[in-house]
Amino acid sequence: MSTTATPKGAAGLRAHDAKHEAPKAGPLAKVGGLASWVDERTGTAKPVDYLLKKVFPDHWSFMLGEIAMFSLVIVLVTGVFLTFWFVPSAGQVIYNGSYVPLKGIAMSEAFRSTVDISFDVRGGLIMRQIHHWSALMFIAAIVVHMSRVFFTGAFRKPREINWVIGTILSLLAINEGFAGYSLPDDLLSGTGLRAAEGFMQSIPVLGSYVAYFVFGGAFPGEAIIPRLYTLHVLLLPALIVGLFTAHIVLVAVHKHTQYPGPGKTNDNVVGFPFMPVYMAKAGGFLFIVFGITTLMAALVTINPIWMYGPYDPSPVTAGSQPDWYMGFADGALRLFPGFFEFHALGFTLSLNVFIPALVVMPLLYGIAGAYPFVESWVTGDKREHHLLDRPRNAPTRTGLGIFALTFYLILFFAAGNDLIAIKLGLSINDITRTLQVMVFVAPPVAFWVTRRICMSLQRRDRDLVLHGRETGRLVRTAEGEFFEVHEPLPEHERWALVQHETPKPLELRATVDGNGVRRRGTRAERLRARLSRFYFADSVHAVTPAELAAAHHDGTAHEALAPAQEWVGQLHGGADERPETDAYASHEPEHEVDPDPKVTR
């Protein structure tokens, strides 16, 4: 007889059931718990969720900005590595390292440490190479990315601030590069610093004081290397990273721009979410950029300072050239006429150096940064734009962009006028005079040619929409006439050719009011009206639905009212829509299906 008491009721029925233990928390559960703990204290769940679900459109040209971003990451990582061994000092030492040709030569500690990084630090040379190449890639990617933004109109409202930030980033990147390649204190970088000191001295009245303050005394001194080091590794990187972060935040806040197409409007974004699609693609592209940069660094030597030797003003050669991004400033200096130097009030005003060296660069970047606001004022367009323009549909803006690029390229080639003369056996004076003329003639010609090409492409698009593609098939009418059959465009292709707006020039209001009193601001309005005509006077109008319907009916708009030829139906030289039973239509079925038995063949 058992002495164990059995509970009564439902509890008794389940007294002998197997007890299930609660599952142990796995790694994901722990991560989720940590995320909840962080969110409860910082409230980051909603912003992170918004970012992960952010939709980005897919187009190859958007990768240009990513190249700049990934190049910046590579520059920062390799720069941290180099700071471990670089000595930012202009103190003189005697070299006794492993590079035999330089043994026993007096040099600065900065130059010796750079040579040691190249030959004695494991992986130091490849890191220097990667750092330099990625810096060049960073600046080049910014320039190309800004060109894409300009030509597609991505700078328009609400992205004017982001355009200004990008312009400042480009200017800071150029100065950061100049500070960086000046640090090794080799012959080439020392020549660049000597030129910079001359630029400072060309400042009217205050030049000598500014140069003395920056260099901490007479050139070269021992203060400039530590000061450049502080700028290169602390101040300028902080500004670049801060502005770059603000740039990315504004991209996330605004809807990403997208190219026009079916289903794409100013109110939506057609693409892929940030997580997981875009994150995976961006991660893979990061390794591609890093791999290509490393390959260039491994195969192509850049800035071999051991071949130049330490800085010494006596062996400077005429072949000294700065990095490519400083080429336009050097070219402007070489092309500026010398008669701008003169004496006044006991001072020598070297405007032939001051203007091209210290005015041209900030002036050009200032014009670039102000352009979105100028175009908005001229066109009177205050709307938000999230659809990009095809460059041909904005011929004046595209022409102005080519105008600027042509001006830049002439200055860039002028920076190598001495090398061009040596290699081609030409007179350097003739080359300089030719470039001086071209800097005024070539940009306007390039603007006019580009504008006409854009308008021609617009007319071609218009003709393609109205008349379709040529098929190469000829039709003979009963009267003996011949027509080539045209095939209408698919709707998704036609949409990209007709979706754009055709702005009209602003109308100039009366200069006086109803009482005959001159209204205020009429001069500005007249200027605005003239500029508006300059932008839009010769615009090619996009095809309207009525024009398209008329062309589909009987070839062209003026023939739409004429009776159709009964024998051939809709066949014409315009955009043809042929029935299946037409004798001149293709008899090959598009799909492998049985023909309709009701059709008489």
Instruction: Return the pLDDT at 19.
Output: 62
- DSSP-derived secondary structure letter, 277: I
Query: What three-state secondary structure class fits 80?
Result: helix
Pair 266, 128: CB distance under 8 Å: no
| C-beta separation of 273 from 252 below 8 A | no
List beta partners, residue 350.
Answer: 341
Q: Where are the domains of the chain?
A: 66-259+272-307+322-389
Q: Is 486 helix (H, G, I), strand (E, B) or coil?
A: strand
What is the DSSP secondary-structure string of 145-169?
A: HHHHHHHTTTTSTT-HHHHHHHHHH
Q: What separation in angstroms does the CA of 495 have from each of 1, 197, 265, 363, 488?
A: 92, 57, 12, 40, 12
Q: How far is CA 336 from the centre of its chain?
A: 29
- Fold for the domain defined by 66-259+272-307+322-389: Cytochrome Bc1 Complex; Chain C (1.20.810)
Q: What are phi and psi of 290, to 5 degrees?
A: -65, -40
**Measured between alpha carbons, how far is 454 from 200 in angstroms, rounded to an integer?**
43
Distance between CA atoms of 309 and 102, rounded to whole angstroms? 8
Tell me the C-alpha distance between 37 and 222, whole Å. 53
Dist CA 68 CA 83 (whole Å)? 22
Tens-place pLDDT, residues 500-544: 888 888 776 666 666 666 666 677 888 888 888 888 888 888 888
Among residues 132, 138, 119, 139, the alpha carbon closest in space to that of 79 is found at 132
337 with 437: CB under 8 angstroms? no
Residues of the chain below pLDDT 70: 1-32, 316-318, 508-521, 552-601
pTM reported for the whole predicted model? 0.83
Q: How many residues does the chain have?
A: 601
Cα separation, 131 vs 297, whole angstroms: 9
Q: How far apart are CA 534 and CA 379, in angstroms?
A: 10
